[in-house]
Structure 1
Amino acid sequence: MTTLAAAVASRLPTGLVASAAVALYPRFEPELRRLADFCPPGTTAVDIGGWYGPWSHRLARRCAEVVTIEPVPHLADHLRRTLPSNARVVQGAATDRAGSTVRLWFPEGDHGDRGVSSLERRDIHAHCVEVESLTVDGLGLRGVGFVKMDVDGAEVAALRGAQELLRRERPALLVELESRLGPIGPAVALLTGQGYAGWVLAGRSWRPLAGFDLPGHQARTEHLVHQGLLRRALPRRERYINSVLFLPEGRRPGV
């Protein structure tokens, strides 16, 4: 199910939609305002699933370099034109194999602007394009302090393609996990096996994922997902939480 705002987005000028996304995202994704809690300054950040760049823009202010991975061709072109000079855009889909093509699925009438494209086909998807696949490990990055991942249900494959980087660099990761798109257990188990522990920003405080019923919370607040950007940005008592921060065991947000 998509919102009216999401449907209209594909008909508005790209620059207008991008400006709205960059301006409004920190209001309903407060993790973006809390970079100091987990993103070391002066390091390299990786933004997997850049969309219109709300995370890449903010990360570029804090980090020495930002590498943005975006599979949708026209969005990757837009990011190359609009991101700061310390951001590098790589067009492709992050998965566990490189050098091949994969199908990227979109809803009817959408070409990536709604932000719900995925390598995993769901009932909302109607058509696809072939895009190049890549692995994060294959990019040969060094000095990575933070990775943000928004791949709409294809998290496990993307994480498998970054195993060497996680082992070597031990970066913080912020992964969007939604039980409505599929079980979140496999991605959590993969990262737990790598020595990571999950945290969620509930209210103003970080809480351990192990003591937080994320699927239950998402089931209770899913109606908020189907509201438009402007309405979701309004102050409210409760929000829909879908971002999980993973830190190496023994490390806490803000420390």
Structure 2
Amino acid sequence: MSGRLSSDLSARFAAAMPAGVTGAAIRAVYPRVEPELARLASYAPRGGTAVDVGAWYGPWTRSLRRLADRVVAVEPAAELAAHLTAAYPRVRVVRAAASDSVGTATLHLPEGGPGVGTSSVEAGDGRTVTVPRVTVDSLDLTDVRFVKVDVEGHEVPALRGAEDTIRRDRPLLLVEVEDRIQPVGPVLELLAGWGYRPYVMPRDRWLPLAEFDLVAHQREAVGRVRQSFARRVVAPWPRYVNMVLFRPEADR
């Protein structure tokens, strides 16, 4: 079966399923797609507050609940925010786009729905809606120990909006850094200036980013992105690495 046909069938199947069923299925299998998630308990701090920026159906929220005392999920798509609220009543769900200022933003929604695509304030081909825009700093969080940021090319503004929180609490940061969406340099330079060093997990352990050519890898492996989610779950290797762990200098 061709990748395009497989992707189309996945889209139709996901669109036909109730959000609760789709969400539960995605959360259950997502660790197969991202070993960074599968091994979360081996490197994420316990206790304190964990923040999931760009929560989607909550695969990271689900695992962070087991480690942190408090979890905050930031998700601008109304359907997904409502789903997360119902699935995790003890999680604080913020229905907004995380950025570098407070106000409103235009959110591009995926054509096939959230089960087969991701929303973005940067660009998109689907319909648009106006959503609230917040900064992580405006959420008045305390004792933040872990922050995951996956916002489809809006990572730098989202991080700038969390600068006070990051400088104060020095949390571990896991950030999507993807060359096909945006240049990787600005994220790396911003966090280096804040005293963070980057690491990646090509297989089962963290490597300093200096030892791994992320851009070359992503350009070579970009075909994986075009494959259906179901195919990547069944055959998770070879990987497409796009999550970078940033540790404060003192934690090297």
Distance 1:40 1:127 in 2: 38
Identity over aligned residues, as a percent? Answer: 47
Alignment of 1:22-171 (within 5 A): 22-83=27-88, 85=90, 87-98=91-102, 100-110=103-113, 112-122=114-124, 125-171=125-171
- The SS at the match of 2:101 is coil
For the 8 Å contact 2:110–2:117, the answer to whether it is kept is no
CA-based RMSD of the aligned residues comes to 1.7
**Residues 16-58 of structure 1, C-alpha deviation per residue, up to 9 Å, x if partnerless?**
2101110111001011122233311112100001111111011
For the 8 Å contact 1:51–1:70, the answer to whether it is kept is yes
For the 8 Å contact 2:174–2:243, the answer to whether it is kept is yes
Can you give the 5+ residue segments of structure 1 that lack an aligned partner in the other structure? none
Hey, which of these two has a bigger chunk of strand by percent? 1
Distance 2:236 2:69 in 1: 34
Distance 1:6 1:157, change over 3 A: farther
For the 8 Å contact 1:46–1:147, the answer to whether it is kept is yes
Distance 1:7 1:199 in 2: 37
For the 8 Å contact 2:33–2:236, the answer to whether it is kept is no
Which sits farther off after the overlay, 225-234 or 49-58? 225-234
1:206 alignment counterpart: 206
How far apart are 1:209 and its partner, in Å? 1.0
2:176 alignment counterpart: 176
Q: Residue type matched to 1:33 in 2? A: A
- TM-score, normalised with respect to structure 1: 0.91
Distance 1:150 1:237 in 2: 21
- The SS at the match of 1:190 is helix
2:194 alignment counterpart: 194
For the 8 Å contact 1:118–1:152, the answer to whether it is kept is yes
Distance 1:29 1:109 in 2: 22
Distance 1:178 1:8 in 2: 27
Is residue 231 of structure 2 the alignment partner of residue 231 of structure 1?
Answer: yes
* Stretches of 4+ aligned residues off by more than 4 angstroms: none
Q: Residue type matched to 1:96 in 2? A: D
- TM-score, normalised with respect to structure 2: 0.92
- The SS at the match of 1:45 is strand
Distance 1:224 1:46 in 2: 28
2:17 alignment counterpart: 12
Can you give the 5+ residue segments of structure 2 that lack an aligned partner in the other structure? none
Distance 1:23 1:34 in 2: 14
